[in-house]
Structure 1
Amino acid sequence: MRDLLSVDRDANKIRLLRSTYSGTFVLVEGDSDKTFYNRFVDELACKLIVVSGKPSSKQRVIEVLEILEKSNFQGILAIVDADFDRLETSTFSSPNLLRIDTHDLETMLISSPALNKVIAEFGSEEKITKFNLDVRSVLLETGRSVGYLLWISRCSQLNLTFDGIKFSKLIDEKTLQIDELKLIQELKNKSQAYSLKDEELQQQLKIKKSKNHDPWQVCCGHHLVEILSFGLRGVLGTNKATDVEPNSLERNLRLAYEEIYFFETQLYSDIRTWETNNHPFRVLPNNI
């Protein structure tokens, strides 16, 4: 009941803002999302509103959007992570709800040339060449196992805990390949889910991997950044842990992400389409 009241409160705050602001309201999931999109939106024509809370910020964004749509509120747009939505059939759809091209904001950054810039700054060309590594491909292959297990956990309501995974215990320091059995055991221990069978989870993971889904929709960006951080301390570079800690790497990826990369995304095209269908409301500057 408290969560429902809270969602209504979020919607009412936006209704109150409408009395003094006639532009577009764009709902986003968190402060880092707001910081990122602030670089691209027209601040005079558009206000970014962070909606966060339980059970998840994304769910809250969608619930607030639904409430406002039911009251025929104009000039409202929501931008959320895709997560596993493109791999599932029953997902909420609305012309006022846009999803990022990839699983989440961090994977969108990693899929762009921003990663090349970060590797050039923190990586060792000599080491990467020596081990003949395509960094982006290696990250995706390793992160795919973690992403699939996260998806399995959500679909089967296993409630496995993925926060704070010690990737250094699970990944080969020379190849960055992950030991899937150790990963499963780590997740079970962290989640105190000792009744789950290793073999059953391994079989479910094998089935998922055989489907050859788009890894950009499977992998979670935070996991990829954690794996990158580990690699830049060994096979990909010679950095101290404090120099390439994950939060710092994510900041560097955001800073390395240029406007031209954003213009090439489907999200950019979708925003332009939304503007066309919702005149006179705008999100992006007219000159880009």
Structure 2
Amino acid sequence: MKRHHPAEYTAKPETWKLIKSNWVLYLFLVPAFVYFGIFAYAPMYGVQIAFKNFVPSKGIWGSEWTGLTYFTMFLQNPKFWDYVRNTVYLSLYSLIAGFPVPIILALILNDIKNSKLKRISQTLTYMPHFISIVVLVGMMSSFFSPQSGFVNTAIKALGGEPVYFMGSENWFRHMYVWSGVWQGAGWGSIIYLAALTGVSPELHESAMIDGANKLQRIWHIDLPAIMPTMAILLILNCGSIMSIGFDKVYLMQNNLNLGVSEVISTYTYKVGLIQQNYSYSAAIGLFNNVINFITLVTVNRITRRLSGSSLW
């Protein structure tokens, strides 16, 4: 007969006792549960559209089941691998280029001793985050215009030929990624700055007494302190590897760069809302989310084994 540890009998009563004694604190969780219930879980009811030939007049329940027809249709699409390749390329490029920049920026800002200069620097690096995507793409179109943009004006002044950056397949990915790095670096550094505030000054003082220079203190004190934060954010970023931002790609997209700018999210928008093929677009979206989920679980497991930090 299996024997139970005494703690197993007391764990559940103790948990309910703690909840009862701190019910006011748990009450604050109700709005969060309601929010996710309404906006995250309730809409999952519509996932079945991906397995039906959805007709709006018949409703979800009245539409006929088609099984995996639309999933097969997407996988057999002649441009399927082009969409996947463009999506993964942009996501990985954004991750590789954008992930270390907020960390480096946070380390630099954390080392500024002058409080006034530090506040000004933080404000200047945060500001691009509040520029809307529409305005950002408009700025890029103006700055890199082959006729009036100051970038091409400088190129012509140096004897070069103007380049249509926004319409070039060779430049599209670089424009997309590095404009995103510029816009998000300051905002992304906030969480690392918060983690760095937990580093005891005594550790740096002891290291300085032992003769450690600034780079050695960053490597052996600051980076280990923010390593758990880095691991969690890396897992979250990898979990959305197939969910490249739709709005910015769509605004930057044109017929000249369509070969590298057509990603899964823009294709889903076109077949779902423009062509009104709701079942097909739902199947593509569900396929995308399943890949993201598998990637999230895999990266979480690898990170837990390598660093000991994970989401669960």
TM-score normalised according to structure 2 size: 0.24
Larger radius of gyration: 2
More strand by share: 1
